[in-house]
């Protein structure tokens, strides 16, 4: 693997054991395979990820986990290789010091202004930095700009906190909206149930009124029945004529009753438990009465009834 910031001095004289067989340049961060072949770590990693899963040297299956770091003696030899900086042209540098030279020493390296942290846009060679600093307005106003930047950072932090609070409040609002929707749905269900209960209540009220009217009618009918019963109880009951009350002077008929002195028919009336009601309702006219003979209607005396009529 090559680095564009430097080049090797007298590269043809470098030991072939220090050359990577993939990039054909001196090894960088050398790693060894199980077959003891050494490659740049970046080169062998790219090979296994894009080219093949086998070793470029022995063609055996190989994975990145099988790689091991090269011995320290080999790494020390590579660090002592002489290089030349391609930026400033300085030669005779050790490869181990290449990064330090580029980042801290090389006069031609493009570097930012020291006031880049306060937004100075200048970029130039390191050997021109001191000259720029003499006229840099950002550096001259560092204290003011730093205060402004610090205030800006505080405002950004406050804004970030407020945005976080707003997001939390939005989440809480969405949660409250969800709860409100659920409660609204429950309210609609309860409202429907309430309407149903109102309708049932109305129907029950109608039924109660109907039952009340029917109860009044029944009470009136009951009162009428009670009045009829009281009337019946107030009238004297007709008793059966006993054989002792019969007139012994009248001849007895075949039915066992007494004969009327005028018409000779049976005048010994007999009432059962049902016929006596007919007698009471007919004001004693003896409708429905019989003599003691089962066929007694043909032998019944009408004299007393005709007198009463």
CATH (domain of 17): 3.30.40.10
Domain count across the chain: 1
CA–CA distance, 303 with 295 (Å, rounded to integer): 19
Domain membership of residue 36 (yes or no) is: yes
Expressed in angstroms, the distance from the first to the final Cα of the chain is 154
pLDDT tens series, the chain, 309 aa? 667 889 998 888 899 999 999 999 999 999 999 999 999 999 999 999 988 889 999 999 999 999 999 999 999 999 999 999 999 999 999 999 999 999 999 999 999 998 888 889 999 999 999 999 899 988 888 888 888 888 888 999 999 999 999 999 999 999 999 999 999 999 999 999 999 999 999 999 999 999 999 999 999 999 998 888 888 877 765 555 444 444 445 566 666 667 777 777 777 665 544 444 554 454 544 444 556 554 545 556 666 554 444
CA–CA distance, 307 with 167 (Å, rounded to integer): 117
Domain membership of residue 17 (yes or no) is: yes
Domain membership of residue 72 (yes or no) is: yes
Range of the domain at 24: 6-108
* Contact partners, residue 51, CB within 8 Å, separation at least 6: none
CA–CA distance, 71 with 30 (Å, rounded to integer): 9
Domain membership of residue 189 (yes or no) is: no
pTM of the model: 0.45
HEC-encoded secondary structure of 133-158? HHHCHHHHCHHHHHHHHHHHHHHHHH
Domain membership of residue 74 (yes or no) is: yes
């Amino acid at each position: 693997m090559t680095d564009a910031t430097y080049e090797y001095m007298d590269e043809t004289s470098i030991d072939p054991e220090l050359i990577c067989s993939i990039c054909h340049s001196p090894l960088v961060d050398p790693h060894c395979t199980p077959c003891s072949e050494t490659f740049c770590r970046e080169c062998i990693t790219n090979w296994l990820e894009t080219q093949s899963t086998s070793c470029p040297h022995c063609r055996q299956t190989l994975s990145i986990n099988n790689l091991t770091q090269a011995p320290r003696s080999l790494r020390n030899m590579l660090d002592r290789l002489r290089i030349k900086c391609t930026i400033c042209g300085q030669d005779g540098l050790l490869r181990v010091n290449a990064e330090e030279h580029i980042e801290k020493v090389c006069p031609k390296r493009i570097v930012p202004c020291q006031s880049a942290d306060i937004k100075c846009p200048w970029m130039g060679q390191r050997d021109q930095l001191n000259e720029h600093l003499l006229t840099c307005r950002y550096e001259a106003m560092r204290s003011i700009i730093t205060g402004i930047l610090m205030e800006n950072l505080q405002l950004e932090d406050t804004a970030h906190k407020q945005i976080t609070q707003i997001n939390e409040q939005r989440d809480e609002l969405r949660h409250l909206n969800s709860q409100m929707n659920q409660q609204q749905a429950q309210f609609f269900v309860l409202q429907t149930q309430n309407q149903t209960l109102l309708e049932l209540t109305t129907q029950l009220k109608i039924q109660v009124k109907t039952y009340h009217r029917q109860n009044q009618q029944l009470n009136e009918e009951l009162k009428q029945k009670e009045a009829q019963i009281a009337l019946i109880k107030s009238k004297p009951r007709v008793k059966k004529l006993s054989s002792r009350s019969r007139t012994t002077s009248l001849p007895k008929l075949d039915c066992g009753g007494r004969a009327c002195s005028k018409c000779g028919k049976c005048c010994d009336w007999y009432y059962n438990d049902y016929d006596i009601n007919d007698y009471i309702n007919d004001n004693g006219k003896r409708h429905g009465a019989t003599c003691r003979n089962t066929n007694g209607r043909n032998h019944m005396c009408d004299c007393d009834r005709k007198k009463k009529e």
